[in-house]
A and B are shown apart, each in its own frame.
Chain A
């Protein structure tokens, strides 16, 4: 109960912070960065299920981001569709493209799968450059903003942050229950997963579609935030950036990649001299984490705790309680 209460308290406190952040920022630029973090996180929260939990090395999610962004811009901009409907359709579009990308590629071993996602991102980029009639080619498209209170930077921040919180909640629900265990079994031991009846390919596909959906949503929100998109907005490095946020944050965690996203997005912007060196900064940080903390930031606490506790472990002589065992087996048996 105590742990439950503490978790609720922590959640409430975090939500309060998220809600109050605009009042703590000094200027509109900082608010823009905050909104950008929330947008990125919507994509990364979904991608985290794919990379951090299922162990699929997708480095091409920027392609899905671009698809969501263009879908939204074309629907809400050129066809004057209701932006909220266009947002939902951008998510659906991302999910469909995730399905089409995942169907052939998810049976490939890790390295080749990564190559397919890389190729996908490059193809999307080339297509968006070539299809002038649809995407405006190199000149790009201007993107409408959301109506009403969402026109203001504050309103838009709260809107995006609310969606980010919702996506976090969805991914938390997946991660901490049966599906999360199943995904981790696919990541760590496909042999064990199969023996327990976990349908490996289907799990990969479902979680990939989910990440496509969040990437599509993120794309739409990203486009509207930038208010103008060109193929250059969706360079391949951005896909790598999403991936690195998760690796630095740590596999099998939600808080870790969130921290990774915040640090990697905010630091180069805030520490001005680093802005020009941002790629160097990512590379150096990645190198540091992989060499010193291969399990990522989030697992640091766990590892330290286990190191400390290891000395205290008493020899545990296994004494089965067959009475209890029989009762437990029989309790749920269907004859």
Chain B
């Protein structure tokens, strides 16, 4: 079993301590929820895991591989995929093309090979198309594979981002507020997808305000407050943490 681990990391912006000695690990094959009030450091932690910020102390690891100073791109090649709070798709391209771009890290053919359309380019292209198609049907977007992405509904954009992340064949999938703006029915669908992803031995980290959803589908939950871990454990324990109820969940 391998683990994506933030090991006692701290991050401050000027004098503001965004995170203090936070440890979090996401294991493959589990759904891990990250909750907490606004300003508690959830997004900062996500950005540190993904490489947009550098830690001031502590390390980011996948098992023994130290990714603390790795670029965003390098982390993608180490099997970390993500979605965005505001979906970031390529509006000019079709749904299928958007999903296929997830294959980039696993594409071996270089620029010259691509220019000359050598056999490997065709083979990889075919594989990517087939894989992306299946995943799109899997997440429920099979009917709109040829539509340009700028025409998609909000939920379709969210699900396309998940499919694109899965095309990367990741070990870890980090979802930034995936339930934001979804209807009940769509949240249900999201839950089914995330569970299926977990069952395929991918570690899922969900940063989310929708706590009912988090407690329902997560295997473990970490709650942050004011840049520190307030509670972590199985949903039942975390949900009944009195301090967390006081500062965030409410009675």
Asked, given contacts A178-B125, A192-B90, whether A322 binds B192 with beta carbons under 8 Å apart, the answer is yes
Known contacts: A316-B153, A321-B138. The answer to whether A206 contacts B121 by CB under 8 A is no
Q: Tell me, rounded to whole Å, the shortest Cβ–Cβ distance linking A167 to chain B.
A: 10
Interface string of A181-199 (1 = CB under 8 A from B): 1101100110110111111
Residues of A within 8 A of B153 (CB): 316
Task: State whether the Cβ of A79 lies closer than 8 Å to any Cβ in chain B.
Answer: no
Size class of the contact patch on chain A: 35 or more
Q: Which of A173, A189, A322 has the most CB of B within 10 A?
A: A322
B104 in contact with A196 (CB, 8 Å): yes
Q: Are A181 and B101 in contact (CB under 8 A)?
A: yes
Complex interface bits, B87-101 against A, C-beta within 8 A gives 1, otherwise 0: 011111100010011
B57 CB to nearest chain A CB (Å)? 24
A 296-335 binary contact with B (CB < 8 Å = 1; else 0): 0000001000100010010011111110111111111111
- Chain B CB count within 10 A is highest, among A182, A194, A302, A320, for A320
Within 8 Å of chain A (Cβ to Cβ): is B109?
yes
A177 proximal to B (CB < 8 A): yes
User: A252: CB under 8 A from chain B?
Assistant: yes
Contact A195 B200 (CB under 8 A): no
Within 8 A of B (CB), among A187-219: 188-189, 191-192, 194-199, 206-207, 210
A197 touches B90 (CB 8 A): no
B185 at the interface (CB under 8 A from A): yes
Tell whether, in the assembled complex, residue B138 and residue A328 are in contact, meaning their CB atoms are under 8 Å apart. Answer: yes
Contacts of A332 in B (CB 8 A): 127, 131, 169
B38 contacts the other chain (CB 8 A): no
User: With A318-B159, A324-B137 as given contacts, are A198 and B196 in contact (CB-CB < 8 Å)?
Assistant: no
- Per the bound structure, the CA–CA distance linking A274 and B93 in Å amounts to 38
The answer on a CB contact under 8 Å between B90 and A189 is yes
Q: A173 to B109: give the CA distance in the assembly, Å.
A: 12
Q: Is A170 an interface residue (CB 8 A)?
A: yes
Least CB distance, A206 to chain B, in whole angstroms: 5
Quick check: A333 and B90 within 8 Å, CB to CB?
no
Interface residues of A, dominant DSSP: helix
Q: Is the CB of B202 within 8 A of A329?
A: yes
Q: Is B164 interfacial (CB-CB < 8 Å)?
A: yes
| A319 to B164 alpha-carbon distance, docked (Å) | 17
Q: A316-B143, A329-B135 are in contact. Are A199 and B90 (CB under 8 A)?
A: no
Task: Quote the shortest CB–CB distance from A70 to chain B (angstroms).
Answer: 26
Contact A197–B76 (Cβ < 8 Å): yes
Q: Report how far A179 CA is from B164 CA in the complex, Å.
A: 16
Q: Give B164's nearest chain A residue, CB to CB.
A: A196
Q: Say if the beta carbon of A235 comes within 8 Å of chain B.
A: no
The answer to whether A178 and B100 touch across the interface, beta carbons within 8 angstroms, is yes
- Interface contact A173-B116, CB-CB below 8 Å: yes
Q: Which residues of A contact B109 (CB under 8 A)?
A: 178
Q: B151 to A184, Cβ gap below 8 A?
A: no
Q: Is B82's CB under 8 angstroms from A195's CB?
A: yes
Contact B73 A331 (CB under 8 A): no
Point out the residues of chain B lying under 8 angstroms from A325, CB to CB: 135, 138-139, 193, 196-197
Task: Mark contacts of B108-143 with chain A using CB atoms, 8 A cut-off: 1 yes-contact digit, 0 otherwise.
Answer: 010100111100010011011001001101111111
Assess whether B22 is interfacial by the CB under 8 Å rule. Answer: no
In the complex with contacts A318-B156, A322-B193, A328-B135 CB distance below 8 A: yes
Q: Is A174 an interface residue (CB 8 A)?
A: yes
Q: How far is the CA of A331 from the CA of B200 in the complex (A)?
A: 10
Q: A327 to B134, Cβ gap below 8 A?
A: yes
The answer to whether B92 and A188 touch across the interface, beta carbons within 8 angstroms, is: yes
Q: Is the CB of B148 within 8 A of A177?
A: no
- Give residues of chain A (53-104) contacting chain B, Cβ–Cβ below 8 Å: none
Asked if A320 and B105 make an inter-chain contact with CB atoms under 8 angstroms apart, the answer reads no
Candidates B73, B89, B116, B124; contact of A199 at CB < 8 Å: B73
Whether the pair B104, A318 counts as a contact (CB closer than 8 A) is no
Is B155 touching A182 in the complex (CB atoms < 8 A)? Answer: no
Q: Are A319 and B140 in contact (CB under 8 A)?
A: yes
Give the distance to chain A from B74, nearest Cβ to Cβ, in Å.
8
Could you write out 16 A-B pairs with CB less than 8 Å apart?
Answer: A177-B114, A181-B97, A182-B104, A184-B90, A185-B90, A195-B84, A195-B88, A196-B164, A196-B168, A318-B155, A320-B196, A321-B140, A322-B196, A325-B139, A325-B197, A327-B138
| Contacts A189-B89, A329-B166 known; 11 new A-B pairs at CB < 8 A | A173-B114, A174-B114, A178-B107, A192-B90, A194-B76, A195-B50, A195-B81, A252-B92, A318-B159, A325-B193, A327-B134
A-B CB proximity, top 6 nearest: A325-B138, A197-B76, A328-B134, A197-B105, A318-B140, A192-B88
